[in-house]
A and B are shown apart, each in its own frame.
Chain A
């Protein structure tokens, strides 16, 4: 008997009921998919044991630096070494949206450049065992300097920043400098000197006011974190890097410490006396354009600034970096101290199809051609030491390099609560806007921040990180 129409309809009805179940975002407890390829034997030429035939998938955040560098440099080099391997490149601006479902289903890419506003939460990934241990990479011989291990060719701070729960999981690829950016040509034409003390800073503020220039501005609408950085780095300058380390460790009273209060009060005073409240409602691009128009003297930001504003920058403007003036006469760090830190996260998937290939890909990124080529294409310095001699760099990068030289050992460390406890970081942005606009005092800022930090500390559902340096 052939099925009649009613049977068919009944069947369809059942199918309709069954589909929602199949469409679930989560599929219940499933066993972790094991890597489908086994590692090849290691050798001098292949220290990480890459299986030459395994495919490799690379996901690159296509932001300010684009994703072309990866295709041209690193992927080309990988394909040259392993021509049998099928290489897949994905450029995206939505790392999280695109990859989250893939991590759930188990079909994960091997290398991920986890950047941008939608970057994935690394803690969450580590909790699920999704990130590969980078120890073999750091211990492998470097391609740039064959007699050294990879880790010994990198600037300080890379290893410390790679650790999550004590295991290296993430490679930060670029080096950046953050402090106060200004127009060197304007200073020259006006005959102004960079202020070294807070009194000189105020005096310059008066001069600038006469010329119709705001001494300082930060973007309050999108990008108040530039000022959060500025505040904590200034606090570190007053009280030493321990101030930031305590904040990151959620130590008792870290935010109510005197250096934090002094830094916040000092900057709130500058804003009150020489700032313009219009900037609380402007985004970073609008503020940076006004900076280029010489309406703002100092702008707190990082060394990517020149690249970001390259199209808008007039010839009358030359980006240069200046350390934050010393707030007190007894600051723990000298005037020259500036922030130098690492950024641009890359990780290798532990449950991917080719984790060894992923590690090898990172090793290629850290080769001489890989790192130097990256600096050439994106105007960003990488974490590999000594590979950019003779390159034609921008005035901003040159100025930053000079400032780093002057700072010597007095390097302000990075604040990691930004990625460790994003909620605290977001809260610090609203509090910064509040204190700078004069809605709360510096004391209230410290108290509010401390309260939030304590809340997170006592919340057992949030995994804690610690650092000693």
Chain B
């Protein structure tokens, strides 16, 4: 009992901070979602499920959901595939890693230390639609028509996904590298003795033994796919455009709360986002659950 008291004493402050700054805003968001609060009064006027009804009938909401679906599939897939490939090349569990592996490791990780806003501004220059843009400048030099990376409806979301992948890949290279380093060498030696090639080794040995790390990575990336606010805000035209092609729930929340002072409706969107994220995490855990391999 004495020991428990001691531990609890240490936990009190962090738990209190967590309750005040995380749990209580969550609870309040649920409460405000049932009101027509406009952000400047101290009283709340309850309107039942009106905000949710409005939300389900709103095109922008469904557009954001569709964009999240694309993000949710494409972004983690691309990031994990690239990160696995890079990590495998850098570590090369059997045989020698590529030359300058240490250098590449730093290069891959570099975008991770940049603030998202910085990345956004950086890519604004990369995607700039005229001759001053990094990509379009080169295209124009080559005599190719410049591309509206962010103004073309069919391209805009993919351009933003590319930035997310670019920024995220370094972290997962490090994560997977650590996972690969933990796989005992003798497993690889045994595989090599049986005549397994690099590709077979990767799919039969590395990937299965790395599965839990990949699963964690997938959940992180999935949750990141439900965000995307900062990049969309800085990069996209008319905040989530053209014609809503890049809008995400967070953008809609921001617009409704701080643009139209409809905090009640914005909170309802927030509640939807909360359940979506939660559902995603739960489903992923269940679907990717496998028997744990102990080595």
Instruction: Produce 1/0 per residue, A426-469, CB < 8 A to B.
Output: 10011001100101000000000000000000000100000000
B20 and A20 contact, CB distance less than 8 A: yes
State the 3 A-B residue pairs at the shortest beta-carbon distance, nearest first. A20-B24, A281-B129, A121-B261
B237 and A221 contact, CB distance less than 8 A: yes
Interface residues of A (CB under 8 A from B): 5-6, 9, 12-13, 15-17, 19-21, 23-30, 96, 100, 103-106, 118, 120-121, 123-125, 127-128, 130, 220-221, 224, 276-282, 286, 290, 422-423, 426, 429-430, 433-434, 437, 439, 461
Given known A-B contacts A130-B40, A426-B259, A224 and B32 have beta carbons under 8 A apart: no
Min C-beta distance of B148 to chain A, whole Å: 6
Instruction: Produce 1/0 per residue, B5-24, CB < 8 A to A.
Output: 10011001001100110011
A104 and B28 contact, CB distance less than 8 A: no
Q: Does B141 contact A (CB under 8 A)?
A: no
User: Which among A13, A21, A28 is the interface contact of B44 at CB below 8 angstroms?
Assistant: A28
CA distance A434 to B259 in the complex (A): 21
A121 and B5 contact, CB distance less than 8 A: no
Given known A-B contacts A13-B12, A26-B32, A104 and B242 have beta carbons under 8 A apart: no
User: Which among A19, A130, A280 is the interface contact of B237 at CB below 8 angstroms?
Assistant: A280
- Please indicate the chain A residues that have their CB under 8 angstroms from the CB of B241 in the complex: 430, 433
B130 and A96 contact, CB distance less than 8 A: no
Interface centre among A276, A278, A286 (most CB of B within 10 A): A278
- Please indicate the chain B residues that have their CB under 8 angstroms from the CB of A105 in the complex: 42
Given known A-B contacts A20-B19, A24-B24, A281-B127, A5 and B5 have beta carbons under 8 A apart: yes
User: Which among A30, A130, A422 is the interface contact of B260 at CB below 8 angstroms?
Assistant: A422
Q: Does B206 contact A (CB under 8 A)?
A: no
Given known A-B contacts A23-B24, A121-B260, A439-B153, A100 and B19 have beta carbons under 8 A apart: no
- Please indicate the chain A residues that have their CB under 8 angstroms from the CB of B50 in the complex: 461
A426 and B242 contact, CB distance less than 8 A: no
- Please indicate the chain A residues that have their CB under 8 angstroms from the CB of B24 in the complex: 20-21, 23-24
| Extra inter-chain contacts (18) besides given A280-B151, A422-B260, A430-B241, CB under 8 Å | A25-B25, A25-B32, A104-B42, A121-B261, A123-B261, A127-B41, A220-B238, A221-B150, A224-B238, A278-B130, A278-B148, A281-B148, A286-B128, A430-B238, A433-B238, A433-B242, A433-B243, A461-B50
Given known A-B contacts A221-B150, A433-B238, A24 and B40 have beta carbons under 8 A apart: no
CA distance A104 to B255 in the complex (A): 20
CA distance A15 to B153 in the complex (A): 53
A-B contact count (CB 8 A): 141
Given known A-B contacts A29-B42, A422-B259, A282 and B129 have beta carbons under 8 A apart: yes
CA distance A461 to B50 in the complex (A): 10
- Please indicate the chain A residues that have their CB under 8 angstroms from the CB of B150 in the complex: 221, 281
A104 and B41 contact, CB distance less than 8 A: yes
Residue pairs across A and B with Cβ atoms less than 8 A apart, 11 shown, are A20-B27, A24-B24, A26-B44, A29-B43, A127-B38, A130-B40, A279-B129, A281-B237, A430-B238, A430-B242, A461-B36
Min C-beta distance of B52 to chain A, whole Å: 14
User: Which among A19, A123, A124, A439 is the interface contact of B16 at CB below 8 angstroms?
Assistant: A19
Interface residues of B (CB under 8 A from A): 5, 8-9, 12, 15-16, 19-20, 23-25, 27-28, 32, 36-44, 50, 127-130, 146, 148-151, 153, 237-238, 241-244, 255, 258-261
CB-CB nearest in chain B for A290: B130
- Please indicate the chain B residues that have their CB under 8 angstroms from the CB of A17 in the complex: 19
User: Which among B5, B20, B128 is the interface contact of A6 at CB below 8 angstroms?
Assistant: B5
Min C-beta distance of A295 to chain B, whole Å: 9
- Please indicate the chain B residues that have their CB under 8 angstroms from the CB of A124 in the complex: 38-40, 261
Chain A interface mostly helix, strand, loop or mixed? helix
A20 and B23 contact, CB distance less than 8 A: yes
A26 and B43 contact, CB distance less than 8 A: yes
B36 and A28 contact, CB distance less than 8 A: no
B28 and A125 contact, CB distance less than 8 A: no
- Please indicate the chain A residues that have their CB under 8 angstroms from the CB of B12 in the complex: 9, 12-13, 16
B130 and A282 contact, CB distance less than 8 A: yes
User: Which among B15, B40, B130 is the interface contact of A125 at CB below 8 angstroms?
Assistant: B40
Min C-beta distance of A308 to chain B, whole Å: 20
- Please indicate the chain A residues that have their CB under 8 angstroms from the CB of B44 in the complex: 26, 28-29
CA distance A281 to B241 in the complex (A): 11
B39 and A121 contact, CB distance less than 8 A: yes
A9 and B9 contact, CB distance less than 8 A: yes
Given known A-B contacts A28-B42, A280-B237, A16 and B19 have beta carbons under 8 A apart: yes
CB-CB nearest in chain A for B236: A221
- Please indicate the chain B residues that have their CB under 8 angstroms from the CB of A224 in the complex: 237-238
A30 and B43 contact, CB distance less than 8 A: yes
CB-CB nearest in chain B for A17: B19
CA distance A460 to B113 in the complex (A): 48
A433 and B237 contact, CB distance less than 8 A: yes
CA distance A23 to B50 in the complex (A): 26
Min C-beta distance of A200 to chain B, whole Å: 28
CB-CB nearest in chain B for A32: B42
CA distance A20 to B255 in the complex (A): 27
B41 and A277 contact, CB distance less than 8 A: no
Interface centre among B9, B149, B260 (most CB of A within 10 A): B260
B129 and A280 contact, CB distance less than 8 A: yes
Given known A-B contacts A23-B20, A278-B146, A430-B244, A121 and B237 have beta carbons under 8 A apart: no
- Please indicate the chain A residues that have their CB under 8 angstroms from the CB of B32 in the complex: 25-26
CB-CB nearest in chain B for A24: B28
CA distance A128 to B23 in the complex (A): 28
